[in-house]
Amino acid sequence: MDNEHKREPGSRREFLSRSIVVAGALGAAHQVAAAAETAPAPIRLPEAIPAALRAPGKPAAFPMRGGQVFAKVCKEEGLAALFCCPGNYEVINSLCEEGIPCYGGRTEGSMCAAADGFIRVTGEIAACSGTEGPGFTNMIMNIAAAHAARTPLLVLASNKRLSEEDAEGGIQTVYQQPTTEGMRKYGKRLIDPLRVHEYAAYAFRQLKTGVPRPVHLDFPQEISGARFKDPSELRFFHEKSRYRTDARPHPDPKRIRALAEMIRKAQRPMIVASTGVFYSRAWSALKTVAEKADIAVCESGTSRGHFSDAHPLSASTAPGALMSADLVIFAGQYSMPSVGEYNFSPDAKFARIDPDAADIGRNWPIDLGIVSCEKAALQALAEAVSPAKRPTWAAELAAERKKFEDQNDTYYNTGLGYQDAVHPAVIARQLSDFLYRGSLPKEQTTVVSGGYGIARYARRFLRAYRPGQICNGAYQYGAIGPDCGYAFGVSAAVQLGVGPQAPYKGAPIIGITGDAGFAYSGMEIETMMKYRVPAVMIVYNNNAWGIMSQGKPIHMYLFQENLRYDKIGEALGARGEYVAKPEEFLPALRRSYEIAAKERISTVINCQAKREFWQGSQHPPGFLGKVEPGCMAYAH
């Protein structure tokens, strides 16, 4: 404990004075610290961190411990990354030693979100880990979010000793598996050390087949610390082709022919390409079938870009065209809307392609169901469908895209009229211009689209031109707050160049969040700086929870005004930008991006808005509605 903390607390004035000095000095971390008696030491990265990151892994060989056996399976299965906080030491250390990229952050919850974000933009499996009771329960909100998003997330946690079961020995005791009931695909408390390899196989069999969802394993110390001299001491020790298959369900040819016939008869067919299209990597098959028969494609799901917004058949930014579709094919729409939640005509016909027969027909009535891996079905459909040209349909899509852009322009011009604060339409539009209509290749930058009210604007202006370009933060579960966690995981994916991020390896990413959301995961700015995983985090600061329209009494919905999230960024070793006028936003964004690209330094841009922007009667256009599916979709 340092002397500062040992001192008796003085007056409130003294306390505030000290706090201001500390915050101010930390904020100057990337400048020469002003000479002052009380100036603290500058923020710096201890050499131990880069040294540890440079150190080569030491893959385990027998004799091994249980954690090492488990880590070996993870390596074999291609686990792409681990995001964790200390705890579950045998397992996380072993994963690191196997050479799996590992990241240690500030809260288990945010690291869970980081793993989720990583998966959502790569399609690869990643893990999160935390210590037993508190570390594990800190992850809960984001495990639930991953569950709703159908993310193949491996959740790991240590969990005391079997010999202490029910004894409340020491601290941090909790029954983990009942806690994740209803928010996982599979879960298991490992109880037999001899079966550690077998249950690793259980985990990957679940993660790599069917509709993905989190898998949760908890490791008592007897399991992770068990010692094995050789493979004969393990009850189950097989190569992965022996315990699972890469085979995928293929569609019934009759049903594919029936769907091809429905397409032939339709005048305005549309495919809703959702989460399953991304995870099955079906984007090429999707493009082929769409182009062969002039089928419109509208995206939904946890990430965007598996069908480019620039394609003439894209309906993702043509919400006005959805009602015109007379045949809708849901492909990989795991989170199914009910009638009313998607904007389709009551006279349209509906088909659904899904690997899970038991889910087909849930919520939304269907005329045809096809049980299949999305990629296999779309490939078969591409073969079966008759070539067709539908120029009037393509023209309608183009007209509706233009109408949407025109409406966005109107919002932007209205937003520019507010000079006393930064309107969300200004942020969204100028960000969009910077990313897609400036000097950057429009496919380059991956974006985490988070926040609540700001998201209603940002989604309208963000575009996706290649798979995994947008991580749809609040998808389905609607958790407000994991955005900095998602951003860290997404940026790690881009720095590593994993999956569809490979061509953009090393590029900075953009994250968008609100002032309410920032409070949940803002500490991960420090993690971004620690690993030099750069992100430009745009914080929409309107001094309130987004849902304040319900605010009676209002004090529960408001914050102190003009809080400085940029200063928090600075205090955590990153840069801060303070933007209070519309014309300040774009220069701040340019500076931040340039420094992120050149020096791998993250920035928090505090965009000072005001809560009155959600009141459309006085501050049009106010809080925006939405139309799903398409670029505005986040419920399904």
Partner 1 sequence: MRPPRTRKKAPPRPSRKTPVAIVRRILESYARRGVFRSFSQTSSGGKAHFRFRWLWNLPFRATFQGKALRFENLLPAIPPGSELHAGLQAFIEGCQSDQRPEHRRIDPRRLAVQFSNRRLCFRVVGTDYEYGVRKAIHLVNEIFLSYLSAEHPQFLVRHFAVPEE
- Which residues are near partner 1 by CB under 8 A? 267-268, 319-320, 323-324, 326, 338-341, 343, 345-347, 364-367, 392, 396, 452, 478, 547, 549-550, 617, 623-627
Q: Among residues 623, 633, 585, 630, which one has the least CA distance to residue 457?
A: 623
Shortest separation between residue 370's beta carbon and partner 1, angstroms:
18
On whether the CB atoms of residues 591 and 620 are closer than 8 A, the answer is: no
Nearest to 295 by CA among 308, 306, 286, 304: 286
Q: How far is the CB of 626 from partner 1 (least distance, A)?
A: 7
Nearer of residues 149 and 200 to partner 1, judged by Cβ: 149
The nearer residue to partner 1, 288 or 549, going by C-beta atoms, is: 549
In the complex, minimum distance from the CB of residue 239 to partner 1, in angstroms, rounded to a whole number: 47
Q: Smallest gap, in angstroms, from Cβ of residue 398 to partner 1? A: 12
- E strands, 480-562, are 509-514, 535-541
HSE at residue 481, side-chain half, CA atoms within 13 A, is 16
For 578-582, the CB contacts below 8 A with 24+ separation are 578/606, 578/608, 579/422, 579/605, 579/606, 579/607, 579/608, 580/421, 580/422, 580/608, 581/419, 581/422, 582/415, 582/416, 582/418, 582/419, 582/422, 582/423, 582/426
Q: Which is nearer to partner 1, 536 or 548 (CB)?
A: 548
Nearer to partner 1, 195 or 611 (CB): 611
Q: Which is nearer to partner 1, 164 or 367 (CB)?
A: 367
Decide: helix, strand or coil at residue 191: coil
For residue 4, give both structure tokens: 């500062």
Q: Write down the least CB distance from residue 203 to partner 1, Å.
A: 33
Q: Which is nearer to partner 1, 82 or 480 (CB)?
A: 480
Q: Measured from the CB atom, is 36 or 395 closer to partner 1?
A: 395
State which residue, 261 or 326, has the beta carbon closest to partner 1.
326
Question: Considering beta carbons, is residue 136 or 477 the nearer one to partner 1?
Answer: 477
How far apart, in whole angstroms, are the C-alpha atoms of residue 66 and residue 180? 23
Minimum CB distance to partner 1, residue 392 (Å): 8
Eight-state DSSP code of residue 542: -
* Count of residues in the chain: 636
Rounded least distance, CB 540 to partner 1, Å: 16
> Nearest approach, Cβ of 139 to partner 1 (angstroms)?
22
Report how far residue 498's alpha carbon sits from residue 118's, in angstroms, rounded to the nearest whole number. 9
Rounded least distance, CB 546 to partner 1, Å: 8
Separation of alpha carbons 401 and 313, rounded Å: 10
The secondary structure of 61-86 as a DSSP string is: -SSEEHHHHHHHHHHHTT--EEEE-S
Q: How far apart are CA 69 and CA 202, in angstroms?
A: 14
